[in-house]
Every structure is written in C-alpha cells, then in structure tokens.
Amino acid sequence: MHNLPRDKSDTLLLLSACAMVLLPHFVHLSWWTSLICGGLLLWRAWITLRGQRLPPMWLLLPLAALTMGAVYLDYRTLLGRDAGVAMLALLLTFKLLEMRARRDLFVVLLLSLFLLLTTFFYSQTMLSMLWMIATLVLILTAQLSFQYTGTVPPLRQRLRLGGMILAMALPLTLILFLLFPRIQGPLWGLPGDAHGGRTGLSDSMAPGNIAQLALSDEIAFRVKFFDAPPAPAKLYWRGAVLNDFDGRTWTQGPTSRAAADTAPHVQAVTQALSTINPALTVHQQVTMEANGQRWLFALETPQLAPTVEGIPVRLTADHQIRAARAIDERVRYDVMSNLRPAPSEQITPAGMRQALALPNNFNPRTQEFAADLRNKWPDDAALVNAVLNFFRHEKFSYTLEPPLLGRDSVDDFLFSSRAGFCEHYASSFVVLMRAAGIAARVVTGYQGGEINPVDGMMTVRQSDAHAWAEVWLPPRGWVRVDPTAAVAPSRIETQLSNLLPRSFFGNLLGAAPGQANWWSGLNDSMALLRANWEALSNGWNQWVLNYTPARQMGLMRWLGFDELDWRTLVILMLAIGSVAAGSVTLPLLLARNKNKPLDTVYSALCAQMARRGMARNKHEGPGTYARRLCASDSPLSPSVKMAVTRFMALYEALQYGADYGPDNKPPAPLLAQLKLLLSQCR
C-alpha cells in the first residue's frame, strides 16, 4: 500500500477489516451467501485499485432486494439468528459499494462492529476471542486512517495506536464483566435455530451411529477427580438406557419408576456401600459441553442427582441422570459415583416385560441360536459367559467400516459379516439375551478418557462414545456386560486410538497407529501442544464462560459484600467503573493540555514579538514570520534580527527535521541553545 494514493490505501485497509469480520461467518453461512459476500468484496477492491466509479443505485437496489428474497427462501424467515446474520453480512458488503460520503464510512464501521459481535452466537472459544481482538484493532486502525488530515503516520504506527485504544478499554471491560448483574441464560431471546448442529450421542442407537463419532476429536466433557482417577477399565460414563427395539434401532422406553432420588431406601443402601468401602466412591466434577440431549454423564453408578444451576435434574430408577430440558449450554456439576454394581432391586412385571420384548418376525436364526444356548446352559450367568466366549473365540472383528446389514440385522451380523463396532456387539448381545429369556437392555455413554498432563483434567471425547449391555441376574440385579471387551479388550483397557487412527494428524503419512517412525516425534510434540491448548481452553471455559450468577455472588461475598442485590451491584459497578474510566482518561486530558517544550519556547517568542506590535498571523509559519520580522522596515535592531533568524532556523530544524521518538522531546543542549537565542531576542 506504500505506493498507492491515500484514499485507495485507506479503502483497502477498510476492506481488509471487513474481510476479517466476515471470515468466521463463512463457516456457517450458506454457500451462496459466502460466495456473494466474497464476490462483492473483490468487486469493491477491483473498483478501488482501478479507480473506477461505484455502481449506480439502480443496479445495487435490485441486487440487494434479490439477495434478501433469497435469504427468506433459504431460511423461511428474516428474524432468526442465521437469517439475521446472513442479512447483515450481505448488507455490509453492499454498503461498501455505496460508500460515497463520510457518513457511509461510519455506517460501514458500525455494521462491521455489530456483525463482529454476532460471532459469539456461534463460537465463544478463546481462539475466536483472539481473532475478535485482532479484528477490532484493524477496524480501529481503519477508522483512524480516515480521520487523519495532512501527513498520515505509517501503518505500523497506526496499528499500534489502534491497539493502545483497545487496551485503554480493557480495565472498564474487566469491571463490567465482573460486576454487571448477570441473569441465567442470554440477555435476549434466541430462536430455536440457535442451538442447532450439536455433535454427540443421540437418544437412539442403530448400526453405524456410534461409529460415526469414532474419529471425532471433539470434546464431550472434562472431568476433575478429587482423588486418584479409577483404572481405565472402570471408566464407564453412563448416559442413556435404551429398552425398545424395532428390529434395527434401539430407543428409550417409558420410565418404569419414579426418580431414584425420591426413594430414601436407595440412598440408604448406596450410602452403606460407600461406608463399607469408601475407596470405591469417586467424586467427580464434570464440565459437559452442550449436546442438545437431556441426560448428564457420570461414572457408573451415580448415587444422587447432581445440582445444576438453573436446570432441575433427577436420577431415574435405571440410574440415568436426566435434566428437565435439553442441555444447550456448557454445564458444570459435581457427582458421586460408586464403582460397585448398583444395589439389588426388585424389577416390576412391566419392567420385566419391557426388558424381554423383541419385535415379531425378525432375526429367526438368532432366535434358534438363543434357544439352543438356553437348552445347553440353563443357568443365566453361565449362558452370559457362553455368549461372551462365542464372541471371543469365533472370527469376530472390531472395525469402523462393517458391511451393510439387511432387514435381519442381528442375523446378518452374528452369522455372516461378524464385523462391527460397539453398537453391533451390544445390540446383538441384548437380542440374544432376550431371545434366551434373560432381561437385558442397552446402555450408551462413553468409555475411557485421557488425562491432560498440563492441568490433570480427564478429557473424554466423542471418539470415546461406547455402547454396552446390562442383564438382570438375580440376586445381583442389573449387571454390566460389555461384549466389545470380549472381541477387542484393548478398547477397554487402553484407548480407541490403539486400535483405530485418530483424526488429529493421524494417518497423515500412512503410518499405522503406534508405529514408530520419524513422524512420531513431531506427532508427540503436536500432542503436547494440543494438551497445552486444551488446558488453556479449559481455563477459559471455567473462569470466563462459566462465570455464572452464582459465581458472581460468590466473588462478591469473598470481597465482603454478603447481602448484595442487583441495585447495589449496579451502584458498585458504576462507582468502580467511573474510577477506572477516570484513571485512563484523566492522564490523557492532562497530556493533551500540556505544551511540548519546543512549542512553549516558540510561543514565548511570538508573545514577545506581539508586545512589540508584530504579532504572528494565523496563516504564517516560522519561516514566513521570520522574514517579516527581519524585513528592512522592521523596528527590530540588527542584533535582534540576527537572533530571530538563528532562532527560527534552529526551531524549524528541531520541529520538522528530526524524529525524537515517542516523547518527541529534543536533546537538552539544543533546547538550551534555543532558549539562549530567545533571551537574545529581547
């Protein structure tokens, strides 16, 4: 931009700022919206570089109207989150083609700031915050560039000034963040599309559902253990219990009993178990990402329903932790789990019928096989072991890419393909149990997790999604059985990454998982870098995004304000905010009113000449003023004229001929010489 005229360089700087505003939105905008916005930006840049005229209004208005109509056809509304952001993005780029006056410039800047704010609708990560700060600095720099008259400082100096302006706002921003009265939920109502696009386990299970998550590195939740974490084989994070089967898909059945936290005898039994062997009781603090579902995760078996701020939660009879509504934001909760099996309970007749139900006219070979097993193994526990040995000793394989299954999916899996993921094994095992007369059900959740070496938190990812079975074995009650462990024990004892490639730089150079090569060292370094970044992101989530009303009140109590309502909080915020704003603006005002040393000396000379009847005209610079003072008809003596000439020459050299750094203060000897010449002018 150094060789471009000022108007072109300033416009291109503004276009760069707008591109940074729009770039994060291209991820979620419709492809045609992103294409039009990018095309309009390039069109405006081409017009600027070529020096062409802006398009006329009779062309822009129909194009803008057509795009607004396309937004309505695409989203079926103009008021939703996604539709509103798409409209703002299009309006911003069209306004750039209609920027003819100074007023239009400020409209573009304000639209950019508002559109930048909408980035938080989609992402509130630390990376998006850093991108927003960089974009703000560029927007402020573009605004400053249009404000300059005369000589414009270099781009680096303008960027530094923009960063300084943003830094001045940080103290007030921090005070507003800490003290602004918080309410549960957003400050404005969001439409239903605000919570779309969640990744994770669903409320049903069919062949291939969980396998789709196996290569996802997205974080499902993080766990802080208050004691040593359990062994990997005990890390079963219980989620949904699936009872109903239609021949292919498992879904949740109706709740058979009331919430367990309303049954005192269940609490008493659980507390008794933890008293007998407290080493089996695990205290966890779970920070769960939004998943759009109603259940919370905890190690098997949770003892009581946790407390989640703003969301009623209950513990059901089948040990699911269910929320009263879908989890559409990050939540944190403490939960106690007992690693021993749940205490024996009596199953109701309705519950038994539900746990034995199978659809008619499905999987006939499985039915015959189960009948043969029952004749051979009349004892339920022995039959369960027989089926596990069947999985263990036959040629079953654990794979993410099993062949497609037909109508009788369990028959095809058990007797033909014999290749599948955890949902194939859990589903076929439960069908076999029910066909043999043993009550059984499917449980979905997560298995495993990895400890972050930086902050000690356990990270459970979507790739750890898992499905297992539970069978009813009197007098023990419901007993967990994981048929996947019979086929791929490494999946349970270690991590899925030991069996399958992970998407984080996995398989980039064709190396098999665990294979040592020259890439492994770099891969380890990248893994450590990821661990540091995830620990930093977790701190951001815990201390910034999870700054809830309860934590705000806790901070106020820590500061000594025990009883604090929102009115008092507002007064406190205004008082501290005024002090912070004053501490920033007052030094700037004082520095603005303080004359520079050179200006002080020059003003003294001008005042002295004015007392002699030769005041400086407003349009006169130092050289022109000196020539008038030293003219032949001037009443000044020759020695004073000589001093004035030398004073003006030195002043011009110091004021316009050298750069003395940020403080713009000339060397002391030269300033002293200038003051000496001033004294000679008297």
The owner of tokens 């006169």 is 620
Strands 397-398 and 419-420: parallel
* Residue 382 backbone dihedrals phi, psi, to 5 degrees: -65, -35
Residues 159, 141: contact at Cβ < 8 Å?
yes
Given a contact cutoff of 8 angstroms between Cβ atoms, the answer to whether 442 and 467 are in contact is yes
Q: Residue 186: is it exposed, middle or buried by C-beta count within 10 angstroms (0-12/13-18/19+)?
A: exposed
555: left (phi over 0), alpha (psi -120 to 50) or beta: alpha
Residue 28 bears catalytic tag? no
Contacts of 46 (CB under 8 A, 6+ apart): 52
Strand 419-420 vs strand 313-315: parallel, antiparallel, or unpaired? unpaired
Cα-to-chain-centroid distance, residue 183 = 20
466 labelled catalytic: yes
Element spanning 221, H or E:
strand 219-225
In 226-353 the beta strands, taken as DSSP E runs, fall at 236-242, 244-245, 250-251, 281-288, 295-296, 298-299, 313-315, 321-323, 331-338
At 180, which amino acid appears?
Answer: F
Tell me, rounded to whole angstroms, the distance of Cα 190 from its chain centroid: 18
For residue 9, the surrounding DSSP H or E stretch is helix 6-22
Q: Pull the structure tokens for residue 207.
A: 């062949």
| Backbone phi and psi for residue 117, each to the nearest 5 degrees, phi listed first | -65, -35
Query: What order of strands is seen across the sheet that includes strand 281-288?
Result: 331-338, 281-288, 219-225, 458-461, 450-451
Contact 678, 601 (CB under 8 A): yes
Q: CA dist 574 to 167, 176, 568, 588, Å?
A: 20, 9, 10, 21
Cα 184 to chain centroid distance, Å, stands at: 19
Specify whether the CB–CB gap between 512 and 523 falls below 8 A. no
SS3 468: strand
Q: How far apart are CA 484 and CA 490, in angstroms?
A: 10
Start-to-end Cα distance in the chain: 49
Q: Please name which of 462, 536, 449, 534 lies closest in space to residue 210, comparing C-alpha atoms.
A: 462
Query: 422, 424, 464, 681: which one is catalytic?
Result: 422
Rg of the chain on CA atoms, in Å: 36
How far is 97 from 361, CA to CA, in rounded Å?
67
Q: Name the residue with tokens 């040592």.
A: 516
**φ and ψ at residue 438, rounded to 5 degrees:** -110, 125
CA-angle at 483, arms to 482 and 485, nearest 5°: 75
Place of tokens 């802080």: 224
Where would I find the beta strands (DSSP E) of 148-203? none
Sheet holding 440-447, edge to edge: 298-299, 236-242, 440-447, 465-473, 477-481
Q: Which two tokens stand for residue 587?
A: 């030094």
Q: Is 630 a catalytic residue?
A: no
Per-residue b or e along 335-360, where b marks 16 or more CB atoms closer than 10 Å to that residue's CB: bbbbbebbbebebeeebeebbbebee
Active site residues: 422, 466, 482
